[in-house]
Amino acid sequence: MTSFLFAMIIAGTPLLFATLGEMLTEKSGNLNLGVEGMMLIGAVAGFGMGFYTGNGLLAIVGAAIAGALGALIYAFLTVSLRANQVVSGLALTIFGTGISSFVGTLFIGQKMPDRVITSFARVKIPLLGDLPFIGPILFRHDYFVYIGYLMAICLGVYFYKTRYGLNLIAISENPSAADASGIHVNLYKYVHILFGGALCGMAGAYLSVVDVPQWQDNITAGRGWIAIALVIFVKWNPIMALFGAYLFGGLSIIGFRLQHLSISQNLLDVLPYAVTIIVLILSSIRKSKEDAPPKGLGVPYFREDR
Amino acid sequence: MKKILALLMVLTLIISLAACGKQTPTEETYGDDETATETEATEGADTDAAINEDVTVGFIYVGPIGDGGWTYAHDQGRLYLEEQLGVKTIYKESVPETQDVEQEMRNMIDQGATVIFATSFGYMDFMEKVSAEFPEVAFMHCSGYKTTDNMANYFGRIYQARYLSGIVAGMKTETNKIGYVAAFPIPEVIRGINAFTLGAQSVNPDVEVEVVWTSTWYDPAKEKEAAIAMLDNGADVIAQHQDTAGPQQAAEERGLWSVGYNTDMSAMAPKAYMTAPVWNWGPYYVEQVQAVIDGTFASHSYWGGMEDGIVALAPLTENAPEGAKEAVDAATAQILDGSELVFDGPLTNQAGEVVVAEGAAMTDSEMLNFMWFVKGVIGNIE
């Protein structure tokens, strides 16, 4: 049981980063379907940085910058040129998949240098790591996982407890009103889309640098799409994202531990998606305002249209 | 109006961006490939193979050469072919198993290809169709079952090498529990699991092989998780069928042992990897292309084994147990002289019923439709 929960955290970490990244983007009123593309760009950039510099920190930073650059294309198209967000996001996914395969040809059959692998070795957090039951599951991971915990908590505080976060929520609900109250809408959108892209890039890097420290083409294998569903599943709440990402991570690997019980693998593969649909139905039945998506989501903001 | 104009401009930009993203890699690889083959052809001209310079051979791959597995192994065969015969080769990576492959074959024929190798099951029907249009071209299809007058199919008895890798794993395990990360429940995979199990049992009767299906050919992180699940469950050796090295890394991380697949994976998990059943397509490619050059090519169905060298066991590393080399060599000799058929009786299924009686052996068609596990395998076929 403990070993399963431990593996669940690892499987959920790339989902967590991607979910938080997409959440930031959606909180600025933009729907970015390019998560998979940004993850792959981040994965290849992170691998490249780690491979050439032998430095784990630079690998993460490189992946984040690359993910942000991918998001910059999207931000320019949708914020400055006000292009259709769905089309731009899909284009970013196609672009990211292509460019990661292209750059990845440099790393075919290559393994991450040991220096990078050891820099992401498991670290037990003093005191917390000794807690009964919770300690071995949550607090004996690599740094990347801990960054994930902190990131979710920081975003939770940012969204609901800071002025900037509240401004951001105002933009996602009603950009005209936010603009009228003196908030620089486009600047906010740019900053948060870029930061969201950086988190997606880090999500990809977790796979290529830490989890499977070796270059494999298309390493994300569709996790970016699960992250988009997760944002809806956790109702745009970063703290919920912690639970949601680890739950989905767990669902994706629980099949390997249950196969002797003659439970159909196909059924288990369906579970994450079935759960998402159920949550969507439940929240739409309750018609709760808190669970609703941001009102301005997916709508390009034209100042003249006010 | 302004909006529509902006939207149009953006769409154009996106399309061009997407186009760049998709096309640049293929164009580049094509370019690289052509320069590479030209230089190699000139090198070949210095040796005795100068006469073959004008022969062009096309290869169609289902994945990138960089998969480090299936396609990589075929590409090694292509390089071997160039080196041996000095022919010009052209190839195309990541060709989908759709009608697109017909266009690729026609492109290659336009470029002068007289032999085309298509290396994935899904190309079969398209190749059959194109082969009727070009009777002067030799078509070679890997892992299928259809043939025409000028289209042959070919595959290898990788189960023989899996049997040998099972011997290594069976000698190494201390917990008598081996984890096998399996792809999809199809005869090809099941045959491999059974052969591996029989190999392990031949040196260690108590051994059990636990099977977990991932329903993937290519998801390194998920395949690694599947291996970890079995390591947590007491397995101390991991074997696999997918095209990635994810399971190898799980064993490496835990300080335990692993058996790879497709190619030598020692670089991926130097402390865990012991050996792997590997493909060696080169000699067959050389033989067939030579037959085309000589004008003796004839359509056929080929399922070759270790005696032809098309499948083999990769060299054992220092992680392999003591005495494994001797045991593998002895079994190899038996396979080569025909005294060890792998699937010869008595074979019992998981329920303990004798399916293949003592003295009998499974036929090729029975092996190609293998849908049951031998005793000692823990797992279900769904």
**Do residue B217 and residue B253 come from a single domain?**
yes
Cis peptide before B346 (omega within 30 of 0): yes
Alpha helices by DSSP H, A162-234: 163-173, 175-180, 185-205, 223-233
B310-325 pLDDT tens trace: 999 999 999 999 999 9
Closest alpha carbon to A191 in A166, A168, A159, A160: A168
pLDDT value of residue B25: 38
Top-level CATH class of A2-305? mainly alpha
Residues B145 and B182 placed together within one structural domain of the fold: no
**Final residue belonging to a domain, choices B261, B289, B306:** B306
Contacts of B213 in chain A (CB under 8 A): 259, 265
Range of the domain at B172: 158-276+314-378
Q: What is the pLDDT of residue B45?
A: 42
Same domain, B177 and B97: no
Share of chain B above pLDDT 90, in %: 65
Domains of chain A by residue range: 2-305
Nearest residue on chain A to B250, judged by CA atoms? Answer: A212
Contacts of A3 in chain B (CB under 8 A): 228, 232
Residues of B in contact with A104 (CB under 8 A): 66
B37 pLDDT above the threshold of 70: no
Work out how many domains chain B is built from and give that number: 2
What's the CA gap between A105 and B65, in Å, rounded?
9
Confidence at residue A88, expressed as pLDDT on a 0 to 100 scale: 95
Is the pLDDT assigned to residue B239 strictly greater than 50? yes
Cβ neighbours of A251 in B, within 8 Å: none
pLDDT digits (tens, 9 = 90+) for A209-221: 999 888 888 888 8
Residue of B nearest to A4 (CA): B229
Chain B residue closest in CA terms to A256: B226
pLDDT classification of B377: cutoffs 50, 70, 90: very high
Mutate to test the interface with B, among A6, A16, A100, A217 (most CBs of B within 10 A): A217
User: Where would I find the beta strands (DSSP E) of B93-199?
Assistant: 113-118, 138-142, 151-156, 177-182
Burial of A243 (0-12, 13-18, 19+ CB in 10 A): middle
If pLDDT is split at 50, 70 and 90, which confidence band does B43 have? very low
pLDDT confidence bin for B11, thresholds 50/70/90: low
| Min distance A141 CA to chain B CA atoms (Å) | 13
B117 with B216, same domain: the answer is no
Subunit contact B14:A91, Cβ cutoff 8 A: yes
- Answer whether residue A147 shows pLDDT above 50: yes
Which is it for strands B347-348 and B354-356: parallel, antiparallel or unpaired? antiparallel
CA B9 to chain A, closest CA, distance in angstroms equals: 9
Would the pLDDT of B108 be above 90?
yes
pLDDT 10s digits, A186-202: 999 999 999 999 999 99
Instruction: For residue A235, give the 3-state DSSP assignment.
Output: coil
Q: Which residue has the higher pLDDT, B186 or A261?
A: B186
Highest mean pLDDT among A43-47, B4-8, B357-361: A43-47
pLDDT in tens, B252-303: 999 999 999 988 888 888 999 999 999 999 999 999 999 999 999 999 999 9
Q: B122-177, pLDDT tens digit by residue? A: 899 999 999 999 999 999 999 888 899 999 999 999 999 999 999 999 999 999 99
| Together in a domain, B204 and B300 | no
Lowest mean pLDDT among A118-122, A299-303, B352-356: A299-303
Residue B5's pLDDT is 55
B290 and B371 in a common domain: no
Is ipTM > 0.90 here?
Answer: no
User: b/e per residue, B187-221, with b = 16+ CB within 10 A?
Assistant: ebbbbbbbbbbbbbbbbbeebbbbbbbbbbbbbbb
Report yes or no on B10 lying in a domain: no
- For the stretch B110-125, what's the b/e string if a residue is b when 16 or more beta carbons lie within 10 angstroms of its beta carbon? eeebbbbbbbbbebbe
- Same structural domain for residues B152 and B162? no
- Residue pairs spanning A and B at CB distance below 8 A: 146
Q: How confident is the model at residue B50 (pLDDT cuts 50, 70, 90)?
A: low
Judge whether A8 and A251 are in contact, CB under 8 Å. no
As a whole number, mean pLDDT of residues B53-81 equals 89
Identify the pLDDT of residue B30.
39
Whether residue B193 sits in one domain with residue B133: no
Residue in chain B nearest A95 by alpha carbon: B21
Same domain, B298 and B319: no
pLDDT of B6 over the 70 cut: no
CA distance A145 to B206: 40
In a domain, residue B50? The reply is yes
Based on the number of CB atoms within 10 Å of its own CB, is B27 exposed (0-12), middle (13-18) or buried (19 or more)? Answer: exposed
**Looking at residue B268, what is its pLDDT?**
84
B95 and B72 assigned to the same domain: yes
Q: Which residue has the tokens 């291996």?
A: B227
Beta bridge partners of B311: B279
Specify the pairing of strand B113-118 against strand B138-142: parallel
**Chain B residues close to A221, C-beta within 8 Å:** 216, 218-222
Q: Does residue B323 fall inside a structural domain?
A: yes
**Is residue B214 included in any domain, yes or no?**
yes
Q: Provide mean pLDDT across the span A149-153.
A: 96
Task: Name the most confidently modeled range: A19-23, B54-58, B265-269, B293-297.
Answer: A19-23
pLDDT at B10 over 90: no
Candidate from B10, B230, B249 with C-beta closest to A83: B10
B170 and B150: one domain? no
Find the CATH number of the domain harbouring B200: 3.40.50.2300
Q: Decide which of B96 and A163 is more confident.
A: A163
Residue B62 lies in a domain: yes
The residue type of B96 is P
Q: At residue B51, does pLDDT exceed 70?
A: no
**For A61-89, what is the mean pLDDT?**
95
pLDDT at A305: 65
pLDDT of residue B28: 38
* Cβ pair B162, B128 in contact under 8 A: no
B50 and B145 both lie in a single domain? yes
Distance CA B151, CA A173 (A): 63
B13, part of any domain: no
Report chain A's mean pLDDT, rounded to a whole number. 90
Percent of chain A predicted with pLDDT > 70: 98
